[in-house]
Amino acid sequence: MNFTPSSRRSIAAFGLALLCALPAAHAAVGARVMLQEWSPLTPKQQPLRVLVNDPRVVSDQLQKAWTAARPLVCQGLVAAMAKAVASKGQQLRDVKCLLDETVAFSVANAGANALSASFAIGGYVEATTTTPTPIGSYGDPRFSLRVTANLLAALAVQPNPNQTLRVTTARFSLGDAAIDSHNAVGDAILFVAEDLLPFFKGANFRKFAEDAINQYHVNFEGSINSALAPVNELLRTPSGAVRIAVWGRPDSIIVAFGPRELAPPTGGTVFGALRWDKNQVTAPNGCSSFSISASVQTGPAPLRDPSGYFEPADAPMRKIGNFQLQPGTAEGECRYRMTALATGWPNELQARSSIGAKKTTGNSLYRVNYALSGDGWDGRTVVPQPSAERNYRVHGSASATATVDPGLAAKKRALQPGGPVINPGITPYKAAITPATGATAVLNKGKAVSLNPQPLPPSTLAPAQVPSTLR
């Protein structure tokens, strides 16, 4: 059966299936609010307490927004369909728009201080198209129009504690359309393939529909923002806390709060002595060879994820304290005093020594460093109430370098009787006597070797090669 532009055709049922472009949408989206607890008296502990855990509140409110926007979306789709069919000389009548009342949602992170909410919508549009035709409606072709669609709303995280989430943009988009024949009338296939299929599969219909829905009095932003008011009420900042993180998950929006960074109290003092064995340690600059600095943690480390994971090294720290040195009352002793520490808080002290010297033993070179360690305490943490006495002891240790005398370089190319032939171009090694063991070690050129000093009997090394015992 052949049809001309003057032929009459009636009803064609358009099935418009709207499917979300993101297939992993969840039916329910909730909200979770967590509070990071922290005390300066136990700074390394920061438990997490859940204040709100509602598994449906976000999707329930977004559903209300969709209920308000649904009739306007239908008006936009009908306008787009009418415009599309009219371009082919047809007219629509008996139009029905049936979009699902219940939709599915998904939430995801969309960058710094931003989330995105995706709406998955299903439904269809039915209409009748008519033109003059010499035959009755029994021969009219039936076909359905399938498309993909997505309604994406951008949610900005606001500094306003009373309105955490606010929709900035919400746009409706369509994918390519596909038309299927629903009867055996061959002309229906021709009608679909020749008249409508190129139009609906092209960009024209997609642009018509998107413009009609996004501009035809559909205020998605206002509808969603109004519906999110109860959610924002749940996400309000607790008294004395600050919002520290917001995460978007497919099934929930998670907000974490924590305490404000605190100013440490002042008035704390720590004092004591720094002592060393004058027969083992020489302080060429006297008491000025030593220094102590102090810092205090002023808040919890920020959370890395909703599970409560955090890196302790990320915690906020503040430098405090004034360091003073005074001569001691005996040889090998200095007195110190630190003021302006945090009273009642754990103060982290870091004691340093500038004493250090390079020593040689045979063909090796190593460095002796002198450090300060606590005498009867850990040497680091002190809680003045408001004062505390803490003493340090100076001790030496060999730090990890062994450097071979350059004079040995020529020996690596020598042929040893009965030994392997060394290719100087590919074997950059040196033999050295380590000061720790006196054993021969093969060292890769340019690399340091850590030493673990263990004194050997004097007979093992020549007298000049035995380092003095370090304390």
Residue bearing the bigger pLDDT, 460 or 364: 364
pLDDT higher than threshold 80 for residue 53 = yes
The predicted structure's pLDDT at residue 192? 60
The predicted structure's pLDDT at residue 462? 39
Residue bearing the bigger pLDDT, 380 or 190: 380
Residue bearing the bigger pLDDT, 147 or 344: 344
Q: 378, 306 in Cβ contact below 8 A?
A: no
Split at pLDDT 50, 70, 90, the class of 302 is very high
The string of pLDDT tens digits covering residues 219-245 is: 788 888 898 999 999 998 888 899 989
The predicted structure's pLDDT at residue 110? 84
- Report the Cα 431 to chain-centroid distance in Å: 49
SS3 333: strand
Whole-angstrom distance, CA of residue 436 vs CA of residue 453: 5
CA atoms 432, 435, 441, 442: torsion sign: negative
The string of pLDDT tens digits covering residues 244-286 is: 899 988 888 999 999 999 999 999 999 999 998 888 887 778 8
Q: 394, 274 in Cβ contact below 8 A?
A: yes
The string of pLDDT tens digits covering residues 380-399 is: 999 999 999 999 999 876 65
The predicted structure's pLDDT at residue 262? 95
Share of the chain above pLDDT 70, in %: 63
pLDDT higher than threshold 70 for residue 424 = no
The predicted structure's pLDDT at residue 217? 61
**Which of 233, 224, 307, 234 is closest to 54 using CA atoms?**
234
The predicted structure's pLDDT at residue 338? 96
> pTM higher than 0.85 for the full model?
no
pLDDT higher than threshold 60 for residue 25 = no
The string of pLDDT tens digits covering residues 204-217 is: 777 877 887 777 66
Split at pLDDT 50, 70, 90, the class of 332 is confident
Q: 352, 288 in Cβ contact below 8 A?
A: no
Q: Mean of the per-residue pLDDT values for the chain?
A: 73
Alpha carbon separation from 16 to 20, 98, 150, 190, 291 (Å, rounded): 13, 9, 14, 20, 78
The predicted structure's pLDDT at residue 336? 96
The pLDDT of 419-438, averaged and rounded, is 40
Domain limits of the chain? Answer: 8-234, 268-399, 406-465
Whole-angstrom distance, CA of residue 406 vs CA of residue 214: 79
The predicted structure's pLDDT at residue 145? 61
Residue 330 neighbours by CB under 8 Å, 6+ apart? none
Whole-angstrom distance, CA of residue 103 vs CA of residue 34: 28
